[in-house]
Structure 1
Amino acid sequence: MGKTSKDKRDIYYRLAKEEGWRARSAFKLLQINEEYNIFNGVLRAVDLCAAPGSWSQVLTKKLKENASNVDDVKIVAVDLQAMAALPGVKQIQGDITKVSTAHEIIKEFEGSQADLVVCDGAPDVTGLHDIDEYVQSQLLLAALNITTHVLKNGGVFVAKIFRGKDVTLLYSQLKQFFELVTVSKPRSSRNSSIEAFVICQNYAPPAGFIPTMINPLLDHKYCDFNQLTGPNRFIVPFNVCGDLSAYDSDTSYSLLLEGQSKYEYKDPVQGPINPPYKDILEKTKNIQI
């Protein structure tokens, strides 16, 4: 009997083939919708990192169910890779970390905004979890930057996330833009995978926030922070615990205590422990080689 791949043993892999989905990941979005009803009233959507197109297939099916007129539905799929055409889906081949890609998406909506933005993108994993989590978080932030340009107030953002020890920082950043941020792991997501999905509902950016593609960890071309004002220039405060009068290794100030005219040496309360090599030196001192 020949080897059977892990995918072919998977029930969702077989169901995807039977039902005509391009990938098993379609069930992840369907199961997220079962729990959070993210397609309610949605007519315009953006699918970031869309290839091979299974999430775009789901969007096409669900959004047409919402529309009385098929022409009211607008779906824009974005990916670096080209993918097979889907009826009713406008494809943009571009990098979601670039300003030009954001402008292309905005142009497609002709002045209107999206009700929903989804992103199932992930980097090529290395197996080193810390590195994978970091790169994935940067991809998610790039998707968030695009989202701030195209999502309407009250809209929904769904994206893949890798759970790790520092993931709470990412949650707090998302919470600045959405009233409700929830993390979900659909049944179709393998237990061995560290992936989960953030469901960000009720988009409400801070007052005065101006959408920008600045993200120095992804592209240094857009990192002139001196031009930012208001909420865009928010800097996390750094507080020193205690005052600055404590002693440390800095010798730029006097060691004299108040009322002293000269420094008085005092023996330490407990002397240093004899190093192990001291006994050896004593024993070998008189040995002639």
Structure 2
Amino acid sequence: MGKRSKDKRDIYYRLAKSDGWRARSAYKLIQIDEKFKILDEVRRVVDLCAAPGSWSQVLSKRLRADDPNTDTKIVAVDLMIMAPIDGVTCICGDITKGETAKEIVNQFDGSLADLVVCDGAPDVSHKSDFDEYVQSYLVLSALNISTLILKPGGTFLAKIFRGKDVNRVYAKLKQFFTEVMCVKPKCCRNSSIEAYVLCKNYSPPANYEPTMQALLPLKETSDFLTLSQSTNAIVPFICCGEESPYDADMCYPVELDAEGKHVPLPPVQEPISPPYAKYLMMKRNNELPKY
């Protein structure tokens, strides 16, 4: 999280910097847990698409704060290199690859996870239909790997975009979980289609064999119809974080110092491998291509 933002009055952005979270998304997991207690009695957690690591920070603080020597294990997975977090094992891997699932299970010494969370999202193109489609595939990819690493009775939480075809994703999730709901933390903007699917009690269909490609593609003729004839489902929609004093859609005045000046806070975490690093190195070595 850098010094500047398009809107310096984004209250959750500023709170995250002052509280030491790497991103404002930390409050989304905090508010969901306050409402649904998904972190209670959890010992093994997987954070998919974890970078920059705000959800892993919350998991570490909530699950390891009372006893740093606890046997609780937290595994964070992302394609990007992520800065270390106390109590979190970081894996640089692709959630669509079976090797990543094997590495996660190895980190748990052969056991399966109690909870899998995923706050990943594609680079937004501002073409809503396309963004919703890509996000749906990301959710299904997270579900795919979860069938290999989540224990029966476990919980799955993932970001979703509420588009016109989101009921198909709900239908697929309901085939693997007895309880599925759509939740929206108060720190999410009301104007955003972003929400989260919270799925409890992982119960795969009888004789189901998990594979990395079993649940794709997302269309009415896909193989998942052999598990259920329903292609659409309606699930409860629940708002959480009602006790928060802030509204993500409102603008709040920037706090000023004694002299009436705004002093920006330093970044919570410096970039590990920013895209411009290679350019700067090539420039220093006079290796830039000439056109």
- TM bin, normalised by shorter chain, reads 0.7 to 0.9
Q: How many residues are treated as equivalent by the alignment?
A: 224
C-alpha deviation, 1:155, in angstroms: 1.0
Distance in 2 between residues matched to 1:90 and 1:5, nearest whole Å: 30
Structure 2 distance, partners of 1:13, 1:237, is 40
- Asked if the contact 2:117–2:157 (Cα under 8 Å) also holds between the matched residues in 1, the reply is yes
Post-superposition Cα deviations, 1:31-75, rounded to whole Å, max 9, x if no partner, equal: 00111110010111000000000000000011125x767241100
Tell me the equivalent position of 1:23: 23
Q: Is 2:13 the partner of 1:10?
A: no
Q: Would you say the 8 A contact 1:113–1:150 is kept in 2?
A: yes
Q: Give the Cα–Cα distance (whole angstroms) in 1 for the partners of residues 225 and 211 of structure 2.
A: 8
* Equivalent-residue separation in structure 2 for 1:43 and 1:217 (angstroms): 30
Query: Deviation of residue 88 (structure 1)?
Result: 1.3
Structure 1 gaps of 5+ residues are 219-224, 239-289
**Which has the larger share of helix?**
1
* Identity across the alignment (%): 61
Does the Cα contact within 8 Å between 1:142 and 1:215 map onto a contact in 2?
no
SS in 1 for 2:57: helix
* Pair 1:193–1:130, CA change in 2 (3 A): same
* 2:221 equivalent to 1:199: no
Kindly tell me: are residues 13 and 69 of structure 1, through their superposed partners in 2, closer, same or farther at Cα, counting changes over 3 Å? closer
Q: TM-score, normalised by structure 1?
A: 0.72
**Structure 2 gaps, min length 5:** 232-291
In structure 1, what is the equivalent of residue 58 of structure 2? Answer: 58
Over residues 157-207 of structure 1, what are the superposed CA-to-partner deviations in whole Å (9 max), with x where a residue is unaligned? 100000011100100100011111110110111122211000101111111
**TM-score (normalised: structure 2):** 0.72
Distance 1:89 1:11 in 2: 28
SS at match of 1:197: strand
1:96 is aligned to 95
Q: Report the equivalent of 1:126.
A: 125
1:203-223 per-residue CA deviation (whole Å, 9 max, x = no partner) reads 1111111111015858xxxxx
Q: 1:1-289 maps to which residues of 2 (within 5 A)?
A: 5-65=5-65, 70-214=69-213, 234=227, 236=229
How far has the Cα of 1:236 moved from its partner? 4.7
For residue 14 of structure 2, give the secondary structure of its aligned residue in structure 1: helix
C-alpha distance in structure 2 between counterparts of 1:41 and 1:21, whole Å: 24
Give the match's secondary structure for 1:70.
coil
Runs ≥4 in structure 1, deviation > 6 angstroms? none
Q: Secondary structure at the match of 2:189?
A: coil
Cα RMSD after superposing both structures: 2.3
> Which region of structure 1 is more displaced relative to structure 2, 137-146 or 190-199?
190-199
Q: Report the CA distance shift for 1:43/1:232 in structure 2 as closer, same or farther (over 3 A).
A: farther
| Whole-angstrom CA distance in 2 between matches of 1:236 and 1:172 | 10
Query: Does the CA contact (< 8 Å) of 2:12 and 2:187 recur in 1?
Result: yes
Higher relative contact order (CA 8 A, sep 6+): 2
CA contact (8 A) 2:64 2:87 kept: no
CA 1:31/1:204 → structure 2, altered by over 3 Å: closer, same or farther? same
Q: Is the 8 A contact 2:153 2:200 kept in 1?
A: yes
Distance 2:179 2:28 in 1: 20
Structure 1 pair 135–191 and aligned structure 2 pair: CA distance change class (3 A): same
When residues 76 and 7 of structure 1 are mapped into structure 2, their CA distance, relative to the original with a 3 A threshold, is: farther
Counterpart code for 1:96: I
CA distance in 2, matches of 1:48, 1:109: 15
